[in-house]
Amino acid sequence: MNQSKPRVILTRKLPDTVETRMRELFSTKLNETDMALSRAQLEEVVKTADVLVPTVTDKIDADLIAAAGSQLRLIASFGTGVDHIDLAAARARGITVTNTPGVLTEDTADVTMALILAVPRRIAEGDALVRSGKWRGWAPTGMLGHRINGKRLGIVGMGRIGEAVARRARGFGLSIHYHNRKPVHRQTEAELEATYWESLEQMLARVDIVSVNCPHTAQTSNLLSADRLALMQPSAYLVNTSRGDVVDEAALTELLAKRHIAGAGLDVYAEEPKISEKLRTLPNVVLLPHIGSATIEGRLQMGDKVIINVQTFWDGHTPPDRVIEAML
């Protein structure tokens, strides 16, 4: 590998300390406006970058990779998910892809747990009522919600984040159920007193709260389809902090509007940042602006991982967070 400083191009603004360190180590071009690059701008930067540092807002598809110059050798994504990158196309061009796994687990689990609490207890509705000036004080039947203690939580995807959610939920008295490609380690299952469901359909019909924590892949796209969502109990709630494409958003909106599902807490959407007006006006939904990983500590750790991946790769070694073929 050429030992001169690589030309690193950032597609979005990162924390100042991260950008400063990258400028010290590499020949780094910053995005000072923090506006997502247009398609035309992305096509231009891949022609000159040795290393591209994109985020989830950048669609790095096969056509874009085909337009890249031969000098592009690394795509060091700032984020855990890689569903915005065509991994097969990158591999075919000999381009290494890295991500930043692990550092966002606790942050995303915190937001998931916050939504698990907020939706049944009508936290956002209560806040809106107080701010409106229409609250008339405490009443025995005012703003009645549902307790979560003693309820069944069904986790779709028991990876790092799913396990972190389960551990938090146990502290609130929820019993843990989960659907995964395969059961987790027996010791983990025993510690969480978790029940494994091979059939997603069977689990959805039996739990009180569904938490979506699986990554978005070809296999999980629209995993919670209209038919599967319809299996949920009318008293059940859905929380999604994974990716919007995992859930049929239109079907979920209709089921929520008809109260065939009691409520939902969403941090991700199918066509971010666009959200349908109907979904935005439903009172039984808590909507967050994709903040599952939005902590200062998490962003700094993500930046550190990107820097280590770039430096390790440029030094001629395998970067620690290389996305392996098994993820394809």
What residues act catalytically? 243, 272, 290
CA distance 55 to 84: 8
Beta bridge partners of 195: 177
In total, the chain counts a number of residues equal to 328
Per-residue CA distances from 280 to 150, 283, 316 (Å): 30, 8, 49
User: Shortest CA distance to 268 belongs to which of 287, 283, 294?
Assistant: 287
* Extended strands (E) in 23-146: 27-29, 51-53, 74-76, 96-98
Residues 6+ apart with CB under 8 A from 85: 54, 60, 75, 77, 97
Tell me the CA end-to-end span of the chain in Å, nearest whole number. 26
Sheet architecture: strand order including 195-196: 195-196, 175-179, 152-156, 209-212, 237-240, 263-266, 285-287
For 214-233, b/e burial (b = at least 16 CB within 10 A) is bbbbeebeebbeeebbeebb
Coil, helix or strand at residue 87? helix
CA 258 to chain centre: 27
User: Shortest CA distance to 75 belongs to which of 63, 65, 67, 83?
Assistant: 65
CB 143 within 8 A of CB 88: no
Cis amide bond preceding 273, omega within 30: yes
Bridge-based pairing of strands 27-29 and 51-53 is unpaired
